């Protein structure tokens, strides 16, 4: 029986409080999905058969967070990649690969954008410096016309990262760039997969945020 509400699996992130490690999802991600009447579950770490959980989901959101281990794109970590968490890499990798295999919709934000690129065969710059960190509302991005996301050509958004897409994964294409050339958005040529480097979940109601979440919801209902 078809469910009334689409079920979205969202990847967790980690924090430690008073010596206790906790898994969490930022409420901004959940709020945006609830705006589209989606049910949301957190894909907790170290499940013995995660694919059985993924089978229940109609789509996935891979969230922002700490750095991806550069071993996944053939490099050593000489200290440029910070706060690498193997458990997070494991769950993101499984979600990205499962979504591609099953053709289920996938949206990646910030680290999630990078995870899509890496786990579909692309690479990252381990550290592009401080120019893209801690920018709440004055990050200039230029989009190119494409068949997936109807962005305005010029976008003012936010930025909170220092790893960035270098070589775009096979069958993905870059559709938005910072003025310094940093890739800010990627889409798959044939699958319902979107990667966004900035944080649209923090910008609910803006044109670009609406375009992203509208398209993800459209993918869910195809």
Q: What is the DSSP string of 54-117?
A: HTT-SEEEE---SPPPGGGGT---SS-S-S--HHHHHHHHHHHHHHHHHT--EEEETHHHHHHH
At 38 the three-state DSSP class reads coil
Strand partners for 116: none
Q: Is 178 a catalytic residue?
A: no
Q: Is 199 a catalytic residue?
A: yes
184: part of which helix (H) or strand (E)? Answer: strand 183-188
Annotated catalytic residue: which of 139, 162, 184, 201? 201
CB neighbours (10 Å) of residue 50?
Answer: 18
Q: Is 110 a catalytic residue?
A: yes
At 209 the three-state DSSP class reads helix
How far apart are alpha carbons 178 and 135 in whole angstroms?
Answer: 13
Annotated catalytic residue: which of 113, 161, 178, 199? 199
Q: What is the DSSP-derived secondary structure letter of residue 152?
A: -
Rounded to 10 degrees, the C-alpha dihedral 77/80/86/88 comes to: -150
Q: Exposed/middle/buried for 97, CB within 10 Å: 0-12, 13-18, 19+?
A: middle
Annotated catalytic residue: which of 38, 57, 110, 188? 110
How far apart are alpha carbons 97 and 78 in whole angstroms?
Answer: 27
Active site residues: 110, 199, 201
């Amino acid at each position: 029986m078809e469910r009334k509400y689409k079920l979205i699996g969202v990847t967790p992130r980690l924090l430690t409080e008073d010596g206790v490690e906790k898994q969490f999802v930022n409420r901004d991600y959940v709020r945006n999905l609830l705006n589209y009447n989606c049910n949301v579950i957190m894909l907790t770490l170290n499940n013995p058969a995660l694919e059985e959980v993924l089978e229940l989901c109609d789509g996935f959101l891979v969230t922002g967070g700490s750095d991806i281990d550069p071993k996944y794109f053939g490099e050593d970590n000489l200290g440029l990649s910070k706060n690498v968490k193997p458990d997070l890499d494991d769950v993101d990798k499984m979600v990205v690969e499962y979504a591609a295999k099953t053709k289920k919709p996938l949206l990646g934000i910030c680290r999630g954008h990078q995870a899509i690129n890496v786990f579909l065969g692309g690479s990252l710059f381990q550290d592009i410096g401080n120019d893209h960190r801690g920018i709440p509302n004055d990050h200039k991005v230029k989009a190119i016309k494409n068949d997936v996301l109807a962005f305005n050509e010029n976008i003012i958004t936010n930025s909170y990262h220092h790893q960035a897409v270098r070589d775009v994964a096979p069958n993905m294409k870059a559709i938005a760039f910072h003025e310094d050339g940093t890739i800010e958005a990627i889409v798959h040529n044939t699958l319902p997969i979107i990667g966004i480097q900035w944080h649209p979940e923090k910008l609910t109601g803006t044109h670009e945020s609406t375009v992203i979440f509208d398209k993800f919801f459209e993918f869910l209902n195809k």
